[in-house]
Structure 1
Amino acid sequence: MTRSGSSRISSPAPRGFGHVETWVFDLDNTLYPHEARVWPQVDERITLYIMEMFGLDGMSARSLQKYFYHRYGTTLRALMDEYDVDPADFLDFAHDIDHSAIQLNPLLGHAIAHLPGRKLILTNGSRKHAENVAMKLGIYEHFEDVFDIAAADFVPKPERRAYLSFLDRHKVDPARSALFEDIAKNLVVPHDLGMTTCLVVPTTPDPFREAGEQEAVHAPHVDHVTSDLARFLEHLPDRGRP
């Protein structure tokens, strides 16, 4: 890759996986496809929470929800900071969803199981939500632990403090770890800290998510892009190059 200008500057080669000892995975829309209809349900529950809290109609609540999300990183952070909402109550409400559309993914389970080293989940959701989803996918047993929004003191990704708290809690060396995420902006800080980064994009557009959060972004902070996480893990590129 090059940058425009009077002189041509080569971008660094994408980081490989040969040095990786700790494998870190986001949860929502990363470890499962959007056809599982997990995130749309959570999103709808958050809208309902705002409707009931503020006495708003659905359209107004939705607008307020998106304003909170874009300003604070999560709706929960906004409600905590501005309205002293109990985070446990909010998370229990938001994650009270139907898991029946989540299918076992033995290919993903096999791929994760055979990764050399530790495996962790890093999510802006709750531990209970992560455990429920991972168990339905049949992959929960392969993970050492879940670092959720409560463990991050409710500071969400992509804030730098969230990643630093995670790295410190689990004694992870970022220079020897990899992160798999579905939102490109959430890879900026991890890459800056030294992690190998992989953006997971949907195979088909998800009508329930913003288009900008589904793009196959090609940028210096994104080392790899895949639309098939299980296959990607089975055939990791650049295994021998740090």
Structure 2
Amino acid sequence: MTASSAHSPLAESLAAVRTRLAEALNDAGRPATEARLLAVSKTKPAALVREAWHLGQREFGENYVQEALEKQAALADLDGIVWHFIGPLQSNKTRDIAEHFAWVHSVDREKIARRLNDQRPEGLPPLEICLQVNISDEATKSGASLAELPALAEAVLSMPRLRLRGLMAIPAPAEDREAQRKPFARLREALEALRERFPEAPLDTLSMGMTGDLEAAVREGATLVRVGTAIFGEREPPR
């Protein structure tokens, strides 16, 4: 890390988010290592991702496949960088995702899971999978229903090139902290139910919480918080 990058706007914002996460974990009575920060870098240039890497950030979330592939090529020299796909999944994009990402957070149906499994190269470790849950039952949101989860989890667990790790959700916005916590609590309870049903599965991940509600998510057990705006600034329109 250069002296200039240590005092850059990105350095300050990333440090502030790390402090928020540490304080949220402490307030929840959880160990400091129980939740990781996923920097959502969609629409942001590769140069900013490189700067964040030099500041110690290793995990990055992307929503748009072509944009992500361009960044991955530009940043291929960075050791230890981990790419998470967190956007809606389209059938015609699954091969690129299966070949170029370590994690996928947005699997919500068996057909997509099957394509990711079949297209994951043998030379790579299994793809780490979170099932996306439409936890607020919004008509405009992607995600499986709570009722659909057990069958979907069972299907993914049968696929050898995938490793089911947990659940992801994007709840409807709420300003009040207690209102924010309720859907996160439902997601945590859904993961606990899956653990009871599939005790051999490595179900250790709750991908939930963003810039506006990470404290509520951490209070309810988040292990990965997906933060973009508070780190990189307001989102730019995708190319």
| TM above 0.5 | no
TM-score, reference length from structure 2: 0.32
Going by fraction, where is strand more abundant, 1 or 2? 2
Using CA pairs below 8 Å that are at least 6 residues apart, which structure has the higher relative contact order?
Answer: 1
TM-score, reference length from structure 1: 0.32
